[in-house]
A and B are shown apart, each in its own frame.
Chain A
Amino acid sequence: MSMTETTPPPPATPPAPPRPEGPLRRFLDSDIFYSWKRSPVTILATVTALTLILIAVLAPWIAPYDPFNPASLNLMDGFTPPASQGPFSDNWFLMGADNQGRDVLSTIMYGSRVSLFVGFMATLFAMTMGVGLGLTAGYNGGMIDAIIMRIADIQLSFPAILIALLIFGVARGLIPANQQESMAIWVLILAIGLSNWAQFARTVRGATMVEREKDYVSAARIMGVHPVLILLRHILPNVLGPVLVIGTIGLALAIIEEATLSFLGVGVPPTQPSLGTLIRIGQQYLFSGEWWILFFPAVTLILLALSVNLLGDWLRDALNPKLR
């Protein structure tokens, strides 16, 4: 993707991949990499996901405008259709301008940043919490296990969106009015994270219960190794595979959940929109002919969720040899 060489004609065939020794070498020779190479769809999904992530990360440097700086906007640019003016004019909007005169392309770049940030942080939060509780439940068993898993059961039976709405509501009630906007994004992360931990907990608990009975764990226990160390050093690495799969799919779910919450009007502020907020705004112009305000953010959201989902799907198959 990146232009490292300045030689004018790009090489007709991609240069042979470097073959260094060490961990990378081992990875390139692994089954997983082999299965990745064999699946063009997965390669495409990886490229798409990485491109979108890269664009989001680099948005402040590569976006043509800064839509989050209200002072730079001109309301009179509002509803400019896509590419209606030449690329060298002052207000060239490749994907048009939205209802506030913001460049849709730039807004999408910045918006993906918000969406991805919320998605990653929420998944990380859910993962940490779920893995922690899953390990605890699976290793200890008994009462602790019963309580944790019962709560997980309750939570799993409610749709994440309902739980997130509730958590969002509580947080709104607890945070003073003049701090709600600055806290909004963290509340969102908390709400989505808290509504998704149960999957992790359930999977990890199952795997932990299996591992716990194995000889090496019993040996470590007899040697007097601290339970936390056993969990982290011996059991955790063995459950990482499924956790990674759930995490990847969870990321896609979190991105969609954020969009749905923003669509229902309980997301980030409209001056710093995520993809979901952009879709909520764009949906108002569905019938009035300004299709670009809805279309481009929607396509971006779908591409993002789809490519991450495809990766998760492939990862599951790759890590589960039975299905290969």
Chain B
Amino acid sequence: MKNVIKGLGAALLCTTMLVSAASAETIRWARASDALTLDPHSQNQGVTHNFAHHIYETLVDRDVEGNLQARLALSWELKADDPTTWVFKLREGVTFHDGAPFTAEDVVFSLDRARSEKSNMRQLHADVDQVTAVDDYTVEVKMKGPSPLYPNNLTNTFIMDKTWSEANNVVEVQDYAAGEDNYAVRNTNGTGPYKLQSREVDVRSVLTLNENHWAEEKPAVTEIVYLPITDAATRVAALLSGEVDIVQDVPVQDIDRLSGTAGIKIETGPENRVIYFGYRFGEEPLKSSNVTDANPFNDPRVREAMELAIDRDAIRQVVMRGQSIPTGVANPPFVNGWTEELDAYPAVDLDRAKALLAEAGYPDGFTVTLDTPNNRYVNDEAISQAVVGMLGRIGIQVTLASRPVAQHSPLVTANETDFYLLGWGVPTFDSAYVFNDLVHTKDGDYGAYNGGLYSNPELDEKIRSLGVETDLDKRNATIAEIWQVVKEDRVLLPIHNQVLAYAMKDSITLPVHPENQPLMTSVQFNN
């Protein structure tokens, strides 16, 4: 009994101390979901990376414009006499949270760990042949062939301390099947600007400032309280009632109300993610259509009619409340290969659309099922619902099938859907990433998300050439050629680029990050 009281007292003391430590430098940061794990190589997922970026660091990362910038690496270039080897010069005088110095050995260890079999990051390093330390602050990465864009793949590969990992038996990424509870899932030792102080999964995590961080300018935020709040209304309510300072995932419909509320402001900016519809190519009849002897989508006139029937501006204005950038190409403006001409989209023309449908042999339209996720992208279900109405006006009767993303994405990857909505982010900021997965014929490493089974051997060849072409001008010309065909063929039906909105107290400024990975180090207090 006595012990219990003692423990209680200590615990109470603890909380009081916590309360008194909370000052203007504490940021209470709310998001829709929690990081899946703290092991930096075990999940390739945006929210997890975003959280990890505060504790761990990468060799390079992106600024708010999307440009590569130095982090733990000071410079990176191809070796003068060898176009297949990248040389990274490392930052000196960096220490991990436990005081151990950061050296080339740690980089070699971390890259090897990231490309090990159990790592979820390995695909990004699939072309790596060997990683070696030249000296304490130089690392060479030998590629299997020319890989002119490899540094773009490094923006989410975090560097761990070799000694710490060995001491805590986390040299390997967690093995689910063995039922291991890996130390690195709940403990951290990074070089980042914040240290993990406490963590209750799905409830709250507290990060405190790393006083020994290498950056000269100390961040304004000294403590981060990270609060995952799943329900959108609850999240907004928490900000309105002053229980949190920043809400990262703001529902578009609440932007007006929030920015009209005294003491709250909204930051918006484009995300590097395009929302598009895909449909089934090929002669085989659709599974969900009343047309049983042909595939209407395979007729280019039908695809054109659909594009003419969809009012992207109305979707922007009503469904997205102005928070989207309508587009005519499935490629965000951040990405190498985007042009204004590609981005243009036709005006709505229902008469022409109906005429095209009639020409294609469907004067009365046809039926089809549209599969949509309902918890992945901003207002995904509502966008699909609006498109159902728009296609209905030219006679295409669409049944809407709405599912959580866990049930939706297997339909796309297993090619079990006739017509679907998907969003695509481009972490490498290069068109090849889009072509490889969405346009190339489904085959081995390629076309993983080519849910409509589009296939064009001529394009495939060009797409594969992008991976090894070292002449950047020539490469860009090929990219332009590919986009031309993709747009003419209407391989995908793009709707818009997503816009991100962060809501915060107006004493704070946090700019929107194009990959939705804002760092609390970039928070400024205005007073």
Contact = CB atoms under 8 A, between A and B. Distances in A.
B342 interface: no
B402 to A, nearest CB: 6
A286 interface: yes
B233 A284 contact: yes
B521 interface: no
Contacts of B314: 75-76
A75 B319 contact: yes
Contacts of B319: 75, 78, 99
B389 A284 contact: no
B408 to A, nearest CB: 10
B315 A75 contact: yes
B66 interface: no
B325 interface: no
B374 interface: yes
B223 to A, nearest CB: 28
| Chain B binding surface, main DSSP class | helix
A182 B389 contact: no
A71 B237 CA distance: 36
A269 B400 CA distance: 7
Contacts of B233: 283-284, 286-287
Contacts of B237: 287
B381 A70 contact: no
Contacts of A287: 233, 236-237, 240, 254, 257-258
Interface in B385-430: 385-386, 388-393, 395, 397-402, 404, 407, 411, 416-418
A177 B417 contact: yes
Interface in A244-290: 265, 269-271, 283-290
Given A101-B318, A284-B253, A71 B411 contact: no
A9 B430 CA distance: 77
A100 B315 CA distance: 10
A6 interface: no
Interface string A107-126: 00000000000000000000
B287 A178 contact: yes
A180 interface: yes
A286 B314 CA distance: 22
Nearest to A180: B401
A79 interface: yes
Contact of A76 (B287, B318, B371, B399): B318
A4 interface: no
A17 B46 CA distance: 71
Contacts of A100: 382, 385-386, 389
Question: Number of contact residues on A: which range applies?
Answer: 20 to 34
Nearest to B315: A75
Given A99-B382, A178-B288, A271-B400, A75 B390 contact: yes
A64 B323 CA distance: 32
B83 interface: no
Interface residues of B, number: 46
Given A287-B257, A288-B257, A178 B369 contact: yes
B251 interface: yes
Contact of A181 (B258, B311, B400, B418): B400
Nearest to B414: A177
A75 B311 contact: yes
Contact of B389 (A70, A177, A283): A70
Interface in B458-492: none
Contacts of A284: 232-233, 251, 253
| Chain A binding surface, main DSSP class | loop
B313 to A, nearest CB: 10
A181 B399 contact: yes
Interface string B208-244: 0000000000000000000000001100110010000
B381 A270 contact: yes
B339 interface: no
B136 interface: no
A181 B372 CA distance: 12
A69 interface: yes
A199 to B, nearest CB: 31
Interface string A151-183: 000000000000000000000100001101110
A234 B91 CA distance: 91
Contacts of B198: none
Contacts of A180: 401
A270 B240 contact: no
B77 interface: no
Contacts of B45: none
Tell which of A69, A71, A101, A180 has the most Cβ of chain B within 10 Å: A71
B135 interface: no
B399 A182 contact: yes
A72 to B, nearest CB: 8
A284 B418 CA distance: 29
Contacts of B98: none
A32 interface: no
B256 interface: yes
A112 B133 CA distance: 70
Contact of B404 (A265, A269, A290): A265
Contact of A75 (B257, B318, B398, B402): B318
B292 interface: no
Contacts of A288: 251, 253-254, 256-257
A182 B400 CA distance: 10
A100 to B, nearest CB: 6
B414 to A, nearest CB: 9
A270 B400 contact: yes
Contacts of B400: 181, 269-271
**Chain A to chain B: the 6 pairs with minimum beta-carbon distance, closest first:** A71-B392, A70-B392, A78-B318, A70-B389, A288-B253, A73-B389
24 contacts: A70-B397, A71-B397, A72-B392, A73-B392, A75-B314, A75-B315, A76-B314, A76-B318, A78-B318, A99-B382, A100-B382, A181-B401, A265-B374, A269-B400, A270-B385, A271-B385, A271-B388, A271-B399, A284-B251, A286-B233, A287-B236, A287-B237, A288-B253, A289-B257
Given A70-B389, A73-B392, A269-B402, 4 more contacts: A72-B392, A76-B318, A100-B386, A284-B253
Interface of B: 232-233, 236-237, 240, 251, 253-254, 256-258, 287-288, 311, 314-315, 317-319, 369, 371, 374-375, 381-382, 385-386, 388-393, 395, 397-402, 404, 407, 411, 416-418
